[in-house]
Every structure is written in C-alpha cells, then in structure tokens.
C-alpha cells in the first residue's frame, strides 16, 4: 500500500476509533486508489488524499419539538458538508434511530464520488437525525421536520447545499421541510429535491433510484455476461422507496421477485411477490411486511432480515441499509450460484463481502455507481427548477437511462484499464475521484 494511503488510514483510525462505518468506507475507497497515487505525484504533493477523506465541516444541532401528548422531545440533527469542489453540497437526509456522525460521514464520503459519477455538477453531503419516524403520527412528523429546518435553513441554499431524502425521509417529510424553509427565508428557490410535483418536483424522482439500479444492472448483465433480467429470480431486501421501485422495474424487465424484507424479516413468495400488496402495506399504512402473509397463503415469513440471502436466486439487489450483507451472507449467495449483486442501498456489503464478490468474478455493482440514479434525477430536478421548466416523464426517464448506461460504461472501462474488469468498485472509485481531485488541484490549497 502506498505510504500516503497507509498514513492517512492510520491517522483516521487514531482520531476516530469509534466511527466504524466512516473508517470502513475510507478504507474501501482509499485502498483502491493505490495505483493512481503511484501514477500521479500531484496527489501526494497537494495532500489530496487526506483533504478528500475529511469533510469540509460538520454541523451538529439540537432539535426540540412536541409530540401529540404535548411532551417535549429532544433529538440530534446533523449536516455533513463533505466536498463542494465540483458543485454545491448535495445529498440526502436520513431519519433513523441509528443515525450518528460516523454513519453520516460514511454516507457523505460515498456521496462525493457518486455525485461525480453522474457527471452532473454536484458536490457531496449528507445529513439527518436520530429521530425515529416509526409509529409517529403525521402531526408529530410535521412538528419534527419544522423544528429540524428551524436550524438547518441557516446552512443550505440552492448554490450552497441542496438536501433530499434517504431512509425515513420521503415525499411527506420533504414537503414539510420545504414548507418550513420557504416560510423562514421567504424564497421559493427549490432548495430541496424530491419535492412534490405541484411545487417544483421532478417526474421520475420517486422511481429514480430503483429504476436506475435496474438500468445499471441491465447494462452489466448484457455487457459482462451477455444475459438479461428475463426469466431471472431476484431477491430484493428492504421494502421502502428504493426496493419497491426496483421490484417494479425488475418485473417490467421480465424478472421474478422472490423475496422482499423489512427490519423484522423477510417475505418469500415462490409465485413472485405481489408488489401491489407490498405497496399497500408499506406506503398506505406504514405497516409491517409480515402482514403480507394474511392474504398470500403460499408465502413464508423468515424472522431475520439476513435470511433473504439464503434464498436461491440469480440476482440480489440489496436495497435496505449498510452492512446488510456480511461475509457469511456473501458465501451463501456464492454457494447458491448468484450471478449478480447490485447495490441499491449505500454500502450494503461489508468490505469482506465485496471482496468475495470481486474475487469470484460475479457482477458486483457498487452502490456509489449502481444507486446513483436517485441523486442524478435530483440533479435534473435542480436543472428544471433553474430553468423554470419541467421535462416530461419520458424525457427524464430517458436521461436517467443514459446517465446509468454512461456510469456503467465509464467504470467498466476504468476497471479494465486497471487490469481487473470485475473490480467495478475500483473502477467507480477511481473514475469518480478523477473529476473531484482535478477540481481540487485546479482550485488551489483552500
Ligand atoms: P426507506 O425509508 O424508504 O426504506 C428503508 C427500507 O429498509 C425499509 O423497508 C426498512 O424497514 C428497511 N430496513 C431498514 N433497516 C433494515 C434492516 N436492518 N434489515 C432489513 N431492512 C431494513 O429508505 P430508502 O428506500 O430511501 O433507502 C434504502 C437504502 O437506499 C438506504 O441505504 C439509502 O441510503 C439508499 N439510497 C436511497 C436513495 C433515495 O433516493 N431514497 C438514493 C440512493 C441510495 P423498516 O420499515 O423495518 O425500517
Ligand atoms: O444516497 C443517495 O444518493 C440519496 N439518498 C439521494 C440524494 C439526493 O440528493 O437525491
């Protein structure tokens, strides 16, 4: 390993020993930069590796709000502004009880490379709160979102930082957040993406991450394996925004979705998942996925989310959360003859699992490339807001398809250039880093 990479990783380990997700992402990314640090002495001369892996700033604030009983609740709020060398900070907000600085730093770091891969002018950031939306009423979610924005609005803007959704933040939350922002600053400038269609949202944004994941996977299946989704069995973890639209597109492409999940467990339906029923449970009632069994007598419930990887499938699309595929899960998938694992969630495979996929030469689509469709259409939403114009559904979908195809082609070409065509992870890291590092060097030490 190049000494610059080794020293940087050691320093992070010493400074942030408890930030395990951040250290994991930093290790995964920096170790793949080995050949380019050798090749380009400017990276060492200007300390680009160290400057790249540390966020520009972290904003940590207190969020106080009242629940329906009138009790005062207190949560932590964050915005990690990671890197704005190629465009305004851009990335989602996550509301989940597990949210902390480590998770948001890993997500922000990934976002910098992902946004660069889209080729649109967006820097990287991430934010959120340890607020748990499960079981909260609509008015509680609104109170929380308003209190969160009462702090966040000071740090965001159409040219500075443009947040969006992530786990626990969908159209409802973006609506409440945007409403409070507009009230506070008296500007309707589109500062969040994922907005409702009636106030500046883009067609296809809700579908974009799941559809984009399938467009990426379709390209990979064709160009690496000369095959397609047609007739393939697919496991999709999660049952939120990304998972449901991925399932929708897999079915449109002729695949069969055997299983989906939530944090309680897995539904397995050998007849193929009835997506309408899943959407009715999840979108309509915000219920639990095991309710699927009430109307689907052939389906089974497996009471551990990891068990989804024991189901014999051709393609796995992890669309729930980080580290949901560990080394054991990866071995099980490989033993069952999986041909492709393409990531809808961020960092769903541990570094050990990802290495197994790459070493075994299956198609492994790394998150920062395969799930970039969501932020890509967020970028297109920003363009439409700036133009005061809306593209049609077909126009946005065609642009998304072309962006995902380009991402695949660019990272595959880079993986081949570095003599490991199956290492799309290295391809994505190096290709994404190129534009960011060039911009940092060109803009001097600051
Ligand atoms: P949602 O909140 O819409 O859905 C999250 C889903 O994941 C829920 O079904 C949730 O179940 C499930 N889940 C959470 N933890 C676990 C677990 N440990 N095991 C199994 N299932 C779990 O979020 P999104 O669909 O938006 O996000 C999913 C992933 O995709 C995240 O990693 C996110 O960062 C990533 N992503 C999202 C993008 C977007 O545009 N929304 C863009 C790119 C990536 P439960 O209800 O039980 O919590
Ligand atoms: O992880 C991600 O790329 C997102 N949650 C979407 C970010 C965005 O700004 O649309």
pLDDT of amino acid 186: 97
State if residue 346 touches ligand 2 by the CB under 6 angstroms criterion: yes
HEC assignment per residue over the chain: CCHHHHHHHHHHHHHCCCCHHHHHHHHHHHHCCHHHHHHCCHHHHCCHHHHHHCCCEEEEEEEEEECCCCCEEEEEEEEEEEECCCCCEEEEEEECCCCCHHHHHHHHHHHHHHHHHCCCCCCEEEEEECCCCCCCCHHHHHHHHHHHHHHHHHHCECCCEEEECECCECHHHHHHHHHHHHHHHCCCCCCCCCCCHHHCCCCCHHHHHHHHHHHHHHHHHHHHHCCCCCCCEEEEECCCHHHHHHHHHHHHCCCEEEEEEECCEEEECCCCCCHHHHHHHHHHCCCCHHHHHHCCCCCEEECCHHHHHHCCCCEEEECCCCCCECHHHHHHHHHCCCCEEECCCCCCECHHHHHHHHHCCCEEECHHHHCCHHHHHHHHHHHHHHHCCCCCHHHHHHHHHHHHHHHHHHHHHHHHHCCCCCCHHHHHHHHHHHHHHHHHHHCCCC
Distance 235 CA to ligand 2 centre (A): 23
Per-residue pLDDT tens over the stretch 383-425: 999 999 999 999 999 999 999 999 999 999 999 999 999 999 9
Per-residue pLDDT tens over the stretch 307-340: 999 999 999 999 999 999 999 999 999 999 999 9
- The answer to whether 55-189 and 208-361 have equal CATH topology is yes
pLDDT of amino acid 4: 97
* Average pLDDT across the chain, whole number: 98
So where are the chain's domains? 1-53+437-446, 55-189, 208-361
Grade residue 293 by pLDDT with cuts at 50, 70 and 90: very high
Which residue among 321, 347, 370 is best mutated to probe the pocket of ligand 1, counting the most ligand atoms within 8 A of its Cβ? 321
Distance 323 CA to ligand 1 centre (A): 12
How far apart are alpha carbons 96 and 263 in whole angstroms?
Answer: 12
Contact 244, 276 (CB under 8 A): no
CA–centroid distance for 31 within its chain: 21
State if residue 193 touches ligand 2 by the CB under 6 angstroms criterion: yes
Q: Which atom, in ligand 1's list, is nearest to the CA of 205?
A: 40
Q: 55-189 has which CATH code?
A: 3.40.50.10860
Of the listed ligands, the closest to the CA of 156 is 2
Contact 110, 367 (CB under 8 A): yes
State if residue 92 touches ligand 2 by the CB under 6 angstroms criterion: yes
Distance 207 CA to ligand 1 centre (A): 14
Distance 167 CA to ligand 1 centre (A): 5
State if residue 321 touches ligand 2 by the CB under 6 angstroms criterion: no
Distance 13 CA to ligand 1 centre (A): 28
How far apart are alpha carbons 115 and 86 in whole angstroms?
Answer: 9
Of the listed ligands, the closest to the CA of 126 is 2
Per-residue pLDDT tens over the stretch 165-214: 999 999 999 999 999 999 999 999 999 999 999 999 999 999 999 999 99
How far apart are alpha carbons 178 and 114 in whole angstroms?
Answer: 24
pLDDT of amino acid 199: 98
Quote the percentage of the chain above a pLDDT of 90.
99
Nearest to 211 by CA among 384, 398, 349: 398
Distance 150 CA to ligand 2 centre (A): 22
Of the listed ligands, the closest to the CA of 125 is 2
Per-residue pLDDT tens over the stretch 339-378: 999 999 999 999 999 999 999 999 999 999 999 999 999 9
Give nearest CA residue, ligand 2 atom 9: 91
pLDDT of amino acid 284: 77
Give me 23's structure tokens: 């250290």
pLDDT of amino acid 299: 98
Give nearest CA residue, ligand 1 atom 36: 345
Q: Is the pLDDT of residue 233 over 80?
A: yes
State if residue 127 touches ligand 1 by the CB under 6 angstroms criterion: no
Q: Is the pLDDT of residue 285 over 90?
A: no
State if residue 118 touches ligand 2 by the CB under 6 angstroms criterion: no
State if residue 210 touches ligand 1 by the CB under 6 angstroms criterion: no
Looking at the DSSP bridge assignments, the partners of residue 127 are 79, 93
**Which residue bears the tokens 């499938």?**
313
pLDDT of amino acid 198: 98
Nearest to 190 by CA among 347, 330, 386: 386
Distance 422 CA to ligand 1 centre (A): 27
* Domain 208-361 CATH superfamily: NAD(P)-binding Rossmann-like Domain (3.40.50.720)
Work out the average pLDDT over 288-300.
97
State if residue 115 touches ligand 1 by the CB under 6 angstroms criterion: no
CA–centroid distance for 47 within its chain: 28
Residue 368 falls in the annotated catalytic set: no
HEC assignment per residue over 30-50: HHCCHHHHHHCCHHHHCCHHH
State if residue 375 touches ligand 2 by the CB under 6 angstroms criterion: yes
How far apart are alpha carbons 277 and 92 in whole angstroms?
Answer: 28
**Which of these is catalytic: 90, 105, 114, 126?**
126
């Amino acid at each position: 390993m190049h000494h610059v990479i080794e020293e940087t990783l050691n320093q992070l380990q010493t400074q942030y020993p408890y930030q395990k997700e951040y250290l994991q992402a930093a290790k995964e990314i920096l170790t793949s930069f080995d050949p380019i640090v050798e090749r380009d002495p400017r990276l060492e001369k200007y300390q680009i590796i160290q400057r790249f892996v540390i966020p520009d700033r972290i904003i940590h604030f207190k969020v106080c709000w009242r629940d329906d009983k009138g009790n005062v609740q207190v949560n932590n709020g964050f915005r990690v502004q990671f890197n704005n060398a190629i465009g305004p900070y851009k990335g989602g907000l996550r509301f989940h009880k597990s949210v902390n600085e480590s998770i948001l730093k890993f997500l922000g770091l990934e976002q910098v490379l992902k946004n660069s891969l889209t080729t649109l002018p967006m820097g990287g950031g991430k934010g959120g709160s340890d607020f748990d939306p499960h079981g909260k009423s609509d008015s509680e979610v609104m109170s929380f979102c308003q209190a969160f924005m009462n702090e966040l609005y000071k740090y965001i803007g159409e040219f500075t930082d443009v947040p969006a959704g992530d786990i626990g933040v969908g159209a409802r939350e973006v609506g409440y957040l945007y409403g409070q922002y507009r009230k506070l600053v008296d500007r309707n400038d589109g500062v969040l993406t994922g907005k409702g269609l009636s106030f500046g949202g883009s067609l296809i944004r809700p579908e974009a991450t799941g559809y984009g994941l399938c467009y990426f996977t379709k390209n990979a299946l064709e160009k690496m394996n000369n095959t397609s989704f047609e007739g393939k069995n697919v496991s999709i973890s999660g049952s939120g925004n990304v998972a449901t639209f991925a399932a929708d597109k897999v079915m449109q492409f002729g695949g069969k979705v055997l299983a989906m999940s939530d944090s309680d467990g897995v539904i397995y339906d050998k007849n193929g998942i009835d997506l309408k029923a899943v959407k009715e449970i999840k979108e309509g009632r915000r219920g639990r996925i095991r309710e699927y069994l009430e109307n689907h007598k052939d389906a089974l419930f497996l009471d551990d989310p990891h068990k989804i990887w024991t189901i014999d499938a051709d393609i796995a699309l992890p669309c729930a959360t980080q580290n949901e595929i560990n080394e054991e899960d990866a071995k099980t998938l490989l033993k069952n003859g999986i041909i492709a694992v393409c990531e809808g969630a961020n960092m769903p495979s541990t570094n050990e699992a990802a290495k197994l996929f790459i070493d075994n030469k299956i198609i492994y689509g790394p998150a920062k490339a395969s799930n970039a469709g969501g932020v890509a259409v967020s970028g297109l939403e920003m363009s439409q807001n700036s133009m005061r114009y809306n593209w049609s559904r077909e126009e946005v979908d065609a642009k998304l398809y072309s962006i995902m195809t380009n991402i695949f082609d660019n990272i595959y070409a880079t993986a081949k250039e570095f003599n490991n065509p199956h290492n799309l992870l290295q391809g994505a890291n190096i290709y994404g880093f190129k534009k960011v590092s060039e911009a940092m060097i060109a803009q001097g030490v600051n």
